[in-house]
Amino acid sequence: MNNLPISPDNPLPIPGPIGLMELLIIVTFIIHILFVNFTVSLATGAVGLEIAGKIRKNALLYHMAKSCSFHASIHKSIAVVMGVAPLLIISVIYTQYFYPSTILIGKTWLSVIPLLIIAFLLLYLYKFTWDKWENKKALHILVGFAAVLILLYIPLIFIVNITSMLYPDKWGDVQGFFPSLLHYPQIWERYLHFILATGGFYVFLFYAYKNRKKGGLEDYEQSLKLFGAKVGLWITVLQLIAGFLLLFAFKTEVRILFMGEDLLLTTLLMISIVLTIILCIFLFLAGYKDSFKSFVLSAAVFVLIVGIMGWIRHEVRETYLSPYFDEFPRTEQSLELEK
């Protein structure tokens, strides 16, 4: 490993116990990625429903699309704010790996800021022109579609960033964002797994809760609730498949840990699979039989799955980087050894 382009860690010690920092990165990332997925799925849903409404000339679909666009514009801001903490933490505890992988796609990484600004402005324009552009539906759809494309592109940048940091031995082979898309393993599998994370689930949870609190919903709200449950069901089924594709994209030494060689990792994987299947059952009952009990159970299982998946994600990162920690220790470990 002497020839690997891994620099010594920052001489300043990590500002806290590693265990605490790892817990914080898991929790903060889960919160961030939830709102990212909510924003992407709501914006995509809004555009898709508006297109369907235009084709079918269905006012109900327009109302459903309009509601989705309003929620998307709210969650995008929360997603960005909640992304600050995990970004700072990962740059502190994985400095030697995160910064080089960021530099390798530096120009594209820096484009995230202007892209976010453009996406935000387009989402606001999309949100506030529903009535004004009532007779310009094609233009309105085009604005929403442009925002969705940017929102789908930005996560890919971070996935390349986070995935390439796991492969220091491949850093010298390629530079730049677009070449990296085909150079590093598991990028597209991770992206597919991300895209299928929470489709439809937010509107189902929101309107099911609203129905419980207010004792009734508007027609378009009830339709959105059931639509969200049904979409959530089929997206979850697809994500289960995407999860297996991602698992088999891992290098063999890591994959076998999840397939019986490591008790903790295998247990986490098996629990996540079982819970995902249970979630599909509850979503089916909630979407096709409109059961509030199924809503409560779906929400509980969803929270458990998200927590376990966040934990698994961290364990995968640690497993990939652990071979390098002995030769390129983090500052806290170095200071302890000197004592």
What pLDDT is recorded for position 336? 43
- Each of the 339 residues of the chain gets a pLDDT tens digit; together they read 567 788 888 888 888 889 999 999 999 999 999 999 999 999 999 999 999 999 999 999 999 999 999 999 889 999 999 999 999 999 999 999 999 999 999 999 999 999 999 999 999 999 999 989 988 999 999 999 999 999 999 999 999 999 999 999 999 888 899 999 999 999 999 999 998 876 778 888 888 888 888 878 889 888 998 898 888 889 999 999 999 999 999 999 999 999 999 999 999 999 999 999 999 998 888 877 777 788 888 889 999 999 999 999 999 999 999 999 888 888 774 444 444
pLDDT at 1: 58
Q: Look at residues 85, 27, 78 and name the one whose alpha carbon lies nearest to residue 310.
A: 27
Three-state SS annotation for the chain: CCCCCCCCCCCCCCCCCHHHHHHHHHHHHHHHHHHHHHHHHHHHHHHHHHHHHHHHCCHHHHHHHHHHHHHHHHHHHHHHHHCHHHHHHHHHHCHHHHHHHHHHCHHHHHCHHHHHHHHHHHHHHHHHCCCCCCCCHHHHHHHHHHHHHHHHHHHHHHHHHHHHCCCHHHHHHCCCHHHHHHHCCCHHHHHHHHHCCCCCHHHHHHHHHHHHHHCCCCHHHHHHHHHHHHHHHHHHHHHHHHHHHHHCCCCHHHHHHHHCCCHHHHHHHHHHHHHHHHHHHHHHHHHHHCCHHHHHHHHHHHHHHHHHHHHHHHHHHHHHHHHHHCCCCCHHHHHHHHC
Closest Cα partner for 294 from 216, 232, 214? 232
Q: Is residue 323 part of a domain?
A: yes
pLDDT score for 82: 95
Is 139 a domain residue?
Answer: yes
Quick one: how far is CA 245 from the chain centroid? Answer: 17
What local confidence, expressed as pLDDT, does residue 196 receive?
Answer: 85
Q: Is residue 6 part of a domain?
A: no
**The pTM of the whole model exceeds 0.85:** yes
The answer to whether residue 255 sits within a structural domain is: yes
The residue type at 67 = S
> Could you tell me if residue 246 is inside a domain?
yes
Per the structure, the count of domains in the chain is 1
> Given this model, what pLDDT does residue 210 score?
86
288 in a structural domain: yes
Residue 2 falls inside a structural domain: no
Residue 285 counted as domain residue: yes
Give the domain range for residue 70. 18-334
Can you give the CATH number for the domain in which 49 is found? 1.20.1630
